[in-house]
Amino acid sequence: MRILVAGDHFVTPGLVEAALRARLGDELVVTTLTSAWPYQPFGKIGEVDEACGDEDELIAALAGVEVAVTQMAPFTARVLEAADALRLIVCTRGGPVNVNVAAAAERGIEVRSTPGRNAPAAAEHTLALMLAALRRIPDVHPTVRGGEWRSDLYALDAAGRELSGATVGLVGYGAIGARVARILAAFDASVVVYDPYAAGVDTVSTLDELLSRADVVSLHARLTAETHHMIDAAALGRMPRGAVLVNTARGGLVDYDAVVDALESGQLGAAAFDVFEAEPIPAGSRILTARNVVLTPHLAGATVQTAERAATMAAEAVADYGLRVRSCPPDRS
């Protein structure tokens, strides 16, 4: 089996090749390609999104290749049309956003991804943001380094709040939301969920009900036309005064101008975000200077273990394909 590993500097070709050989043995013929991501931003290439790399370089590397494992490589219709031998693409991400899935299907190319690869990392980052916002750690850290000792923060109106005893509302209960709920149980927090597909937890039938009950609201929903700006000025107004908002899902779920207004008025006590509508955040954005806000640059899934899980899951997908091909060879006519 000839395999191309089109990796980058996060899910590296070496990491994926090692996982493939550990799972499938050393008889594989593996070639590699390395894109510049994350040192070079991803973006739209041709008709696919969140891609990094050169189409012509990818076309050349795919000559005679049956299986491709990638994270960011641009599998556009043009690339797929030139890849005569290709039968499987495994994208080491939650979804194959950098692959023209329709064009692949037309050519009989199977497309797989690695959903859940970053669930532990994203869940832990969510809790880190919650705690940082509740205890205002980013605000205090530079003052200590600057020689200040803010004992005035023991004043009742300045003191932080605990997760213990708090009601945390989770909007979305997939792999990440469910894991956040399990971690919150160890903090003695009460969890309420808004997700029509959730089971076995305290659920509510409307977003409004969740917002009205929660001391902390954490977003884990998909971005769709229906969920775009689901957290707007009206939604923020339904939250208890002083509540905290956390978003590690998608930036488009939140109206960030409305968030800044709510922080300035005190309606929101604090907020913490890893995702934004425009990334990087445009210079001059109000969120950059807002009070009581914690910001990270879309790093929730950025752990060594996420990359390792992605490589292992990709190797399993390739092994599954190999078993199916041996039992029922594909028609290449």
178 phi/psi in degrees, rounded to 5: -65, -40
Q: Are 170 and 221 in contact (CB under 8 A)?
A: no
Between vectors from CA 47 to CA 41 and to CA 49, what angle results, nearest 5°?
35
| Residues labelled catalytic | 250, 279, 298
Other CB atoms within 10 A of residue 260 CB: 20
8 A C-beta contact, residue 220 and residue 248? yes
- Evaluate whether 192 touches 169 at the Cβ level (below 8 Å): yes
Tokens of 272: 């913490």
In degrees and rounded to multiples of 5, residue 166 shows phi and psi of -80, 155
CB atoms within 10 A of CB 219: 24
CA-to-CA dists, residue 179 to 118, 119, 123, 254, 262, angstroms: 11, 7, 6, 22, 29
